Amino acid sequence: MSTVTYTERESATKEVLDTYGNVFTAPEYTMKDILDAIPKRCFERSLTHSMLFVLRDFFYVAVLVTLALQIPNIPSVYLRGIAWAAYTVAQGIVGTGIWVLAHECGHGAFSPYKIANDIMGWFMHSLVLVPYHSWRISHSKHHKATGNLARDMVFVPKSKERYMLSRNIQEATEEMPIVTLYWLFIQQAFGFPTYLIANVTGQKYSVSKLKLNHYIPSAPMFDEKDFWDIIISDVGIAISLTLSWLAIQNFGLFNYSMFYFIPYLWVNHWLVCITYLQHTDASLPHYDDNEWTFAKGAAATIDRDFGFIGRHFFHEIIETHVAHHYSSRMPFYHAEEATKAIRKVMGKHYKQDKTNMLVSLYRSARACQFVEGDGIKMYRNFNGIGPTSTEEVKKTR
């Protein structure tokens, strides 16, 4: 059986194939088609409605802390360990929801009032050590150029050449599942802090790594007009770090770690997991600058499902992300209705996967290592995932 590469197959047929060999076609509808389909009420923002979610989430925080204060009274050391583990996971989930509400503020979806959005966003993001305005600015640029290989701001995939340079050739061509799990651990444990500090997975700039962070106004992600916003963001982080130091001095490192720091690590895990899976899937394209449009880029995302946790605690950020990319000022509590409306316009271009989130995380890491193509680029890998011969390609059609 003669084998052909994806590139040879695509060049011969003029077709674009996704990672599994399915034919991909770019959307042809316009932004007007999408926005006209969304009911006008979906764009209505309410400060009162949003604040009720804030109060609800902080009530959950208080309840969990109250319960955790009783853990030292548990006589069995093993049961205490289980109780602390359960608390940190639960508080990390609630903390992720608070992060999502701050994310709403950054988009102006929290309320019609900019000052309310910025105060609440700065407060909630600072609590979880996120520089509010700095992240808001770079995240806004991500939304303006989603899927654009030249201008997107996060989870920008490597070309095959860059991937080969960044990984040992033998490791890249003979990668084992354990290697994938190792890189996933690194991504989940350190992904968000290293993005903030060194712009990891972001665009490449011709400056030193020391200047590629979200804490200095001169970073290339920002403009001169952003100077004071970056400083205000840094003040929020400084206050939170000072409070952390005081908490350690007064309550001890163990209590600080259990009540705050380990839940904070869980928040980072969920943020990276959510955002990675929203933009990384074997079916999703990326575009060269001359091929990209906003409508195409917004469709280069995928909705997933995390059940009750996703819909209740994470404020549906996982389940309605495609609609969020078409209109980021639309509040999350209207996004499900908007999703149903835009699916009628998007048709086959709407992507949804209800596979277990952790299973999806592993599958995407295995299948989506770099992108190849001309104009429209699709994920490829060295793991043998996807058809490699003409006959096998036909079987997927």
How many residues does this entry show for the chain? 397
pLDDT at position 214: 95
Residues 108, 151: Cα–Cα separation, whole Å:
22
Q: Do 292 and 147 meet the contact criterion of CB atoms below 8 Å apart?
A: yes
Dihedral class, residue 243 (left if φ above 0, else alpha if ψ from -120 to 50, else beta): alpha
Q: Provide mean pLDDT across the span 145-171.
A: 86
Q: Do 89 and 203 meet the contact criterion of CB atoms below 8 Å apart?
A: no
Q: Do 103 and 133 meet the contact criterion of CB atoms below 8 Å apart?
A: no
Please name which of 254, 256, 263, 247 lies closest in space to residue 91, comparing C-alpha atoms: 263
pLDDT(7) > 60: no
Residues 129, 122: Cα–Cα separation, whole Å:
10
pLDDT(9) > 80: no
pLDDT(57) > 80: yes
Residues 339, 319: Cα–Cα separation, whole Å:
9
**Contacts (Cβ under 8 Å, ≥6 apart) of 128:** 95, 98, 99, 102, 264, 267
| pLDDT band for position 237 (cuts 50, 70, 90) | very high
Residues 318, 54: Cα–Cα separation, whole Å:
19
What's the predicted TM-score (pTM) here?
A: 0.91
| pLDDT band for position 5 (cuts 50, 70, 90) | low
| pLDDT band for position 169 (cuts 50, 70, 90) | low
Q: Which residue has the higher pLDDT, 122 or 397?
A: 122
Residues 138, 51: Cα–Cα separation, whole Å:
25
Q: How far is CA 93 from CA 87, 103, 206, 306, in A?
A: 10, 15, 37, 12
pLDDT(178) > 90: no
pLDDT(2) > 60: no
pLDDT(391) > 60: no
Convert the pLDDT of each residue in 79-112 to its tens digit. 999 999 999 999 999 999 999 999 999 999 999 9
**Contacts (Cβ under 8 Å, ≥6 apart) of 100:** 314, 315, 317, 332
Which parts of the chain are beta strand (E)? 16-17, 23-24, 285-287, 303-304, 352-353, 370-374, 376-380
Convert the pLDDT of each residue in 256-314 to its tens digit. 999 999 999 999 999 999 999 999 999 999 999 999 999 999 999 999 999 999 999 99
Q: Provide mean pLDDT across the span 13-32.
A: 91
Convert the pLDDT of each residue in 337-373 to its tens digit. 999 999 999 999 999 999 999 999 999 999 999 999 9
Residue type, 318: I
Query: What is the residue-wise DSSP string for 208-269?
Result: -GGG-STT-TTSTTS-GGGHHHHHHHHHHHHHHHHHHHHHHHHH-HHHHIIIIIHHHHHHHH
Residue type, 256: Y
